[in-house]
Amino acid sequence: MSSAEPPHLLENATASSLPTDASAGPLQALGRRFEDLLRRSGQWGLRDSELGLLAVSAIVGVVIGTGVVAVQWTVQLLHAITFGIGFDRHLSEGRDLDWWRILLVPVAGGLLSGVVSALLRRSREREVVDAIEANALFGGKMSLVDSVSLTLLTMISSGFGASVGMEAGFTQLGSGVASRAGQELRVRRGDLRTLVGCGAAAAIAAAFNAPLAGAFYAFELVIGSYTSAVLAPIAIAALSATLVVREVFQAESIFALDRAVRVAGLDYVLFAVLGFAAAGIAVATMTGVTWVERIFRRLKVKAWARPAVGGLIVGLIAVIFPQTLGSGHGAIQLTLDQGIPAGVLLGLIAAKGLASAVSVGSGFRGGLFSSSLLLGGVYGGAAVVVLQIAIAALGYPGVTLDATSYMLVGTASVAAAVVGAPITMIFLVLELTGSLPAALGVMVGVIIASVTVRLTFGYSFATWRFHVRGVSIRGGHDVGWMRDLTAESLMRRDAHTAPLGMSIAEFRAKFPLGGPKRAFVVDAEGRYRGIVLTADAHNPDIADKLEERLIDNLRFAEESFLLPYQSIRVALDRFSNTETETLAVLSDAAERRVLGFLTEAYVLRRYNQELERTQAEEHGERTLFGPG
């Protein structure tokens, strides 16, 4: 309900939403009161207030920061219970793990994940809409229940050792909570999209203790663009989440450097080479997930059992390479501390890529964000060994490369290519290391990797998943309004019909010049048979035998029409292809009942209006169409 509606309607809504059932539990009553409070905020002018949006962003940031820490602790607790490690240790450090636990726990996690997924799918069959899809197609609308369910599944996956990152769960939870808050507050479509971005920004900022990375994650992936209008809410959400994580929970960054990074002239050239190869690793990992899914489908393993089979494969890999277990945060630090031998690093590239592809492809829920960070780190570590050998072989034994800088470049390059967020990765390295030389070096590798993936493959992991599902979106940029503008919503309903076989004389009498510009011809069963223009029927060249000549010969566009659900994009294409200015909107292709019609001029005008409105929203020009 909008704030523009009469007060009595608001009052009614408020009254009806108050808990009236005495038997309702105190938790439900509290929930209803909270929802009621959110609804009433519409009366306070929150919908039209930029300051109100900033306040909501800050609250969202605090809530999500707390939620991320709670989820991290739960997963850590699961690791402690299932793998028997200390609460202060990371699973992927791979130390003191029992081999039988490594084999059995992912299988048990796979079974649990598969069964929970199957149960959830029974009640909610649709695909879970993530933050990018929600912003691109649904104007920022997400289901909180779906988001919480997906986060729960991600916790099970990561908690039982599957080689997946938690970031997908964090962003789903964050953007789901923010979207729900926005929907309860009845904010505008543009503001709801911004709030979804705030949720994702807060989640990533809290997960990595890096507010800039969180904010730019939202700009690059979830909002789809950077504008000054969305800067403040997203930055505030990211900052407030980071502050909560740092000051209240004293959480640590995923990795820390205790030494300076050294970058010289030759390094930049080698970083470019590193970035180029990183693109190959990223593409192999992304397509690997799809391959694994296809293999599982061909093997005809039941959907609920697939994660258990995947868990067995992950266990078999992790018995040799325990660093592949979980999200890999411990292993990233271990890699940067050069605590993994060079030979093992080489094997770990293959092992981590395979374990991640098998985990995601078999049905464990989670993403590739932190997996790609580890993959990139070990790749950078292995690459620097190979480069060092090559430089020595070329006759420059005195040239020593700084391994840390190459690991950082590898980390950011692979992750940027997989996640599709280059600036995010540059800021992530800058914030976590505090080293400008490292960030500059990373910039070279990241740009080369991102451009290479964009030109050769064309997708990030998220958009690749959409592509595989048949959803044609390339990011969070809002294209949903085009789907919302359907032929049915745009059409004029005052379509005049004329029967097939009508004489031109009758037509002229019924449709004189100055009246309706066109008539839709229908047969005896009322089925659409074409359009006749009034001007054509009144053509002065048609002067004799008007009682005998029929309008049938003046008809056109008999097979060109629109259906009610078709979008404005389809309508524009149809006008262009059929070279007509008017199209009938029919009930369906078989029944062919005329519901209304569309003209090209009107469709173009509405398209331009919506385009202008969307751009105005993105640039924060509220006064153009809003109440000011």
Binding stretches for other proteins (CB under 8 A): 99-100, 284, 287, 290-291, 294-295, 316, 319-321, 341, 343-351, 353-354
CA 12 to chain centre: 37
Any residues with CB less than 8 A from the CB of 623 and at least 6 apart, and which?
none
Smallest separation (angstroms) from other proteins to the CB of 328: 15
Which residue's CB is nearer to other proteins, number 316 or number 604? 316
Smallest separation (angstroms) from other proteins to the CB of 285: 11
- 442 near 409, Cβ under 8 Å? yes
Smallest separation (angstroms) from other proteins to the CB of 322: 10
* Distance of alpha carbon 268 from alpha carbon 366, whole angstroms: 34
Which residue's CB is nearer to other proteins, number 170 or number 466? 466
Which residue's CB is nearer to other proteins, number 51 or number 284? 284
- 561 near 523, Cβ under 8 Å? no
Which residue's CB is nearer to other proteins, number 290 or number 580? 290
Smallest separation (angstroms) from other proteins to the CB of 308: 16
Residue 621 tokens read as 């020009």
* Distance of alpha carbon 599 from alpha carbon 549, whole angstroms: 28
* Distance of alpha carbon 327 from alpha carbon 355, whole angstroms: 11
Smallest separation (angstroms) from other proteins to the CB of 160: 20
Smallest separation (angstroms) from other proteins to the CB of 351: 6
Residue 213 tokens read as 């990375």
Question: What are the C-alpha distances in Å from 35 to residues 19, 151, 382?
Answer: 11, 22, 53
Smallest separation (angstroms) from other proteins to the CB of 292: 11
* Distance of alpha carbon 451 from alpha carbon 449, whole angstroms: 6
Which residue's CB is nearer to other proteins, number 384 or number 482? 384
Smallest separation (angstroms) from other proteins to the CB of 280: 9
Q: Which is it for strands 518-522 and 497-499: parallel, antiparallel or unpaired?
A: parallel
Residue 12 has a CB neighbour count (10 Å cut-off) of 12
Residue 64 tokens read as 């999500």
Smallest separation (angstroms) from other proteins to the CB of 274: 17
Going through 447-510 in order, the beta strands assigned E by DSSP cover: 497-499
Smallest separation (angstroms) from other proteins to the CB of 97: 9
* Distance of alpha carbon 59 from alpha carbon 77, whole angstroms: 27
| Residues belonging to the chain | 628
* Distance of alpha carbon 601 from alpha carbon 490, whole angstroms: 12
Any residues with CB less than 8 A from the CB of 120 and at least 6 apart, and which?
149, 153
- 96 near 322, Cβ under 8 Å? no
3-state DSSP call for residue 459? coil
Q: Please, which residues bridge with residue 567 across strands?
A: 486
Smallest separation (angstroms) from other proteins to the CB of 359: 16
Tell me the residue type at 333. Answer: Q
Which residue's CB is nearer to other proteins, number 389 or number 399? 389
Q: Which of 288, 255, 309, 251 is nearest to 66 (CA)?
A: 251
